[in-house]
Amino acid sequence: MDKKKRIKSSYKTCKICNRICYTRRFQRGFENWTSGNVDIDKFIQDNQLLSHDDLGNILEWIPYDKFYDIEHIANDRYQANWIDGNIIDWDIKNKNWKRKGQNMIIVLKKLNNLKDITVEFMNEIDIAYGITQNPKTKDYIIVLDNKCKKCNDTCYSIHFRQNFNNWTSGNDNIDKFIQDTQLSTHNSVKEVLEWIPYDKFYDKFYGITHIVENEFKANWIDGNIWDWDNNNQNWKRKNQNMIVVLKKLNNPKHFKLEFMNEINIAYGITQNPETKDYMMILKNIKLEMMILINIFKILSYQLIKIWKKH
Ligand SMILES: [Zn+2]
Ligand SMILES: [Zn+2]
């Protein structure tokens, strides 16, 4: 179809909607942009052709100069401000798209596999707005909201991901394992694991104490995560200085199984810098019981003493 015919046909009402729907509006715009890559053009066009009366998951080609204050945040991600904001409706008066969220903060993430764009978009947990290209590196980049697709909000998963660049266990499999638990938190941090540096543990009396084969007892300075603090832009924690058990991971290759078989609540993984052993951080109910029993014994002993004096 030549250019004239295509434009003309796009002025017709949509057969499905029986009016000039969003699909038709996008179709008319096809002549006005290109990504320079046939597959990407087709991917965006196909998405737009499916819109009809719904702009919920709409994607567009966004020129790179629509972004400013681009800043590296994590792994392959950058944060930036988007001048125009996202499409919310068609403005009949101005014959253009109505937008909201001007200068909103978005996330730019490099498209790694141009042959499988659909899969990359499907695997993304954030709401996507479109694709752009860095004119210097020529990299194609997905433009993402800083919001989770599932929650339609900046949920725990997003906060954890923003911190991926700031820690590593030194072992890719362990990093990935911890990251996966963090990415699946969404609105509950109950089962989340974190990487905890070894110097966050101490023992007030004896140093980190050996209890049984491959298990040690220690106090954990920070305590566990229970919520996100928007004011401080950091995690809220509780149980500071709680006693935990550090249990050696016997087989770093099959550590997932060890976690699955563990009956106690796990808080994370650490590494003894001397032995290089990786260790699970566990809440030990048995140990807590023993401490409670000891406190009870001491208290009752004191009470008996006081009682005998009278
Ligand atoms: Zn339609
Ligand atoms: Zn979420």
- How many domains, in total, are found in the chain? 2
306 domain residue, yes or no = no
Q: Alpha-carbon distance 101 to 64, whole Å?
A: 17
Sign of CA dihedral 126, 129, 130, 135: negative
Predicted pLDDT at 72:
85
Q: What is d(CA 64, CA 270) in angstroms, rounded to the nearest whole number?
A: 41
What pLDDT score was predicted for residue 205?
52
Residue 200 tokens read as 């966050």
Pick the last residue of a domain from 106, 127, 154. Answer: 154
Ligand 2 mean position to 162 CA, how many Å?
A: 13
Q: Are residues 7 and 146 in the same domain?
A: yes
Rounded to whole angstroms, how far apart are CA atoms 178 and 199?
Answer: 19
7 and 144 in a single domain? The answer is yes
One-character DSSP codes across 199-256: GGEE-TTTSSEEEETTEEEEEESS-EEEEEETTTTEEEEE-TTEEEEEEE-S-GGGHH
Per the prediction, the chain carries an average pLDDT of: 88
7 and 148 housed in the same domain: yes
Nearest ligand, CA 20: 1
Residues 233, 150: one domain? no
Ligand 1 geometric centre to CA of 13 (Å): 8
Answer yes or no: do 250 and 115 share one domain. Answer: no
* Axis crossing angle, helix 38-49 with helix 22-29, rounded to the nearest 10: 160
Sign of CA dihedral 113, 114, 119, 122: positive
pLDDT digits (tens, 9 = 90+) for 254-304: 888 888 888 889 999 999 999 999 999 998 776 666 667 777 777 888 888
Q: Which of 55-59, 161-165, 192-196 has the lowest mean pLDDT?
A: 161-165
Report yes or no on 231 lying in a domain: yes
Domain that holds residue 228: 164-291
In a domain, 12, yes or no: yes
6-15, 67-76, 88-97, 280-289, range with the lowest pLDDT: 6-15
The residues that bridge with 251 in the sheet, in sequence order, are: none
35 and 143 together in one domain? yes
* 303 is a domain residue: no
Q: Is 51 among the domain residues?
A: yes
Per the model's pLDDT, the better-predicted residue between 290 and 56 turns out to be 56
Report how far ligand 1's centroid is from the alpha carbon of 58 (Å).
14
How remote is the CA of residue 10 from the centroid of ligand 1, in Å? 11
Q: Is residue 110 part of a domain?
A: yes
Average pLDDT (221-227) is 96
216 and 128 share one domain: no
Q: Is the ipTM of this complex over 0.95?
A: no
Domain assignment present for residue 200? The answer is yes
Q: Could you tell me if 168 and 127 lie in one domain?
A: no
User: 116 C-alpha vs ligand 2 centroid, how far in Å?
Assistant: 24
Q: Residue 251: is its pLDDT beyond 90?
A: no
The enclosing H or E element of 16 equals none
Domain boundary among 119, 154, 189: 154
d(CA 265, CA 189): 12
* Burial class for 201, CB neighbours closer than 10 Å (0-12, 13-18, 19+): buried
Q: Is residue 56 part of a domain?
A: yes
Q: Got the DSSP string for 157-168?
A: HHHHHTTGGG--
Q: How far apart are CA 95 and CA 92, in angstroms?
A: 5
From ligand 1's centre to the CA of 26, what distance in Å?
11
Does one domain contain both 146 and 172? Answer: no
CATH number of the domain residue 97 falls in: 3.30.200.20
Q: What is the total residue count of the chain?
A: 310
Which tens digit of pLDDT belongs to each residue from 188-214? 999 999 999 999 999 755 555 666 778
pLDDT of residue 1: 47
Give 151 Cα–ligand 1 centroid separation in angstroms.
28
Q: Token match 């001397």: residue? A: 274
Distance 142 CA to ligand 1 centre (A): 26
Confidence of residue 7 (pLDDT cuts 50, 70, 90): very low
